[in-house]
Amino acid sequence: MFALFTAARKALRKTALVAGLTALAACDATSIGSLTPGAGGGRIDASEPVPVALLLPRSDANAGSIPRDLENAARLAVQSLDGVSVDLRVYDTAGQPATASAVAQQAVDEGAVVILGPLYGEAANAAAIAVADEGVNVLSFSNNPTIAGGNLFILGQTFQNTASRLVSYGARQGQTDIAVLFQDNIAGQIGRNAVQSAASANGARVVASEGYQLNTESLTSAIGRISPLVDAGEADTLMLTDSWEGGLSVVLQLAPEQGISPASTQYMGLTRWDSRPDGFQLPGIEGAWFTLPNRSALSAFEGRYAAAYGGSPHPLAPLAFDGINAIGSLVSRGSGIDRAALTQGAGFQGATGVFRFLANGTNERGLAIATVQNQQVTIIDPAPRSFGGAGF
């Protein structure tokens, strides 16, 4: 058991950057949500190339290939726009909030009507604050809901989106009594809160919510507090917020061993469980539910990316493609890139399927429900292709 946690910690250190982005991006103490919204947006002359600023941490050594792949994806989207010309201007944030603030202002001074990026939450917050009084919207690659609002929108997939999809699907299948098991850190707490919100909105209820530290004693104790509720029939669902980079593999081993059987309790997860096929032999994963993007859309994007750049894109690269697609779609309709246009209900088609921005600055994405059967990923409820269909 110690070896399992040691491996988890090593994996967490190696993937700290990615985990920070896919689970939670850092936020600034000052929230843009309290500032003037970007209601006006940038005014657009559709007869000319639309100036779009792309803010990336190019000189941040810790960012690895992510800035390059985001830029590649953005340029791929620019090339694929039909009848719309985008003048993409790239600015280096160095991964620093102060630099992000300065280059955001520079970009707007140089004519940018919308900002795509930055990557990190604190940098995105700083950039949005810098240009809020000029009505320019910022479409950040972060998925941290605590920074969203005002003129700052986030493109990253949120726990709220995933929780809502899982809980609503579960409620339709009669799974309405949820026990939440979460790693007691910021990301885990956001995940827990997302499940509670989703339960309230979908006629379900959270019957227990137990946090744990990443060690055997803490996790065993947390599972031990949930297990009696399962035995008594008070909980029919176990919702896990953790990831493979954290303690998920240990949870999927320990929970069944402590009496929470996947045969009688529906396991659900807020993270991408398909990314580690070597974990498919764990006892808790067989029959579990988690979400995936539209796989046909993602496969098409990955194929186009590989053809253009000769390699596979980073998992965050589709966000840049989506941002450019949204901007191009609005320009082609003759719309400004203002709050009303960005949050129109039909949404946009992106690299991983349909998505839309919400009034609170977060987003909603069309997600499929997947499970593992005989150590193979199977789609049990496909991703919707438009809003208003299954899962919404």
- What integer is the mean pLDDT of 232-237? 96
Q: What percent of the chain lies above the pLDDT cut of 90?
A: 84
CATH of the domain at 375: 3.40.50.2300
Mean pLDDT of the chain: 90
- 183 shares a domain with 256: yes
- 179 shares a domain with 44: no
Closest by alpha carbon to 381, among 365, 366, 369, 364? 369
- Specify if 21 maps to a domain: no
- Specify if 97 maps to a domain: yes
- 127 shares a domain with 75: yes
Q: How far apart are CA 191 and CA 287, in angstroms?
A: 21
Tokens linked to 115 = 């900002």
- In the predicted model, is pLDDT for residue 19 greater than 50? no
Print the domain residue range for 193: 2-14+159-292+367-381
3-state secondary structure of 221: helix
- 284 shares a domain with 163: yes
- 287 shares a domain with 202: yes
Task: Note whether 158 and 203 are within 8 A (CB).
Answer: no
- 185 shares a domain with 72: no
Task: Note whether 91 and 103 are within 8 A (CB).
Answer: yes
- 208 shares a domain with 97: no
> pLDDT for 360-384, tens place per residue?
999 999 999 999 999 999 999 999 9
Q: Name the residue with tokens 């810098």.
A: 130
Q: Tell me the whole-structure pTM to 2 decimals.
A: 0.87
Question: What is the residue-wise DSSP string for 299-322?
Answer: HHHHHHHHHHHSSPPPTTHHHHHH
State residue 253's pLDDT score.
97
- Specify if 176 maps to a domain: yes
List, in sequence order, the alpha helices (H) in the chain: 2-14, 16-23, 66-80, 97-109, 121-131, 159-172, 186-201, 216-231, 248-257, 295-309, 317-332, 339-342
- Specify if 81 maps to a domain: yes
Task: Note whether 356 and 345 are within 8 A (CB).
Answer: yes
The CB-side HSE value for 258 (13 A sphere, CA atoms) comes to 20
Closest by alpha carbon to 283, among 370, 210, 215, 375? 375
- 303 shares a domain with 197: no
State residue 44's pLDDT score.
74
- Specify if 22 maps to a domain: no
- 253 shares a domain with 194: yes
State residue 41's pLDDT score.
53
> pLDDT for 128-183, tens place per residue?
999 999 999 999 999 999 999 999 999 999 999 999 999 999 999 999 999 999 99
- Specify if 390 maps to a domain: no
State residue 14's pLDDT score.
33
State residue 47's pLDDT score.
74
> pLDDT for 65-95, tens place per residue?
999 999 999 999 999 999 899 999 999 999 9
- Specify if 220 maps to a domain: yes
State residue 43's pLDDT score.
58
What is the total count of domains within the chain? 2
- Specify if 26 maps to a domain: no
- 206 shares a domain with 150: no
- 135 shares a domain with 176: no
- 329 shares a domain with 227: no
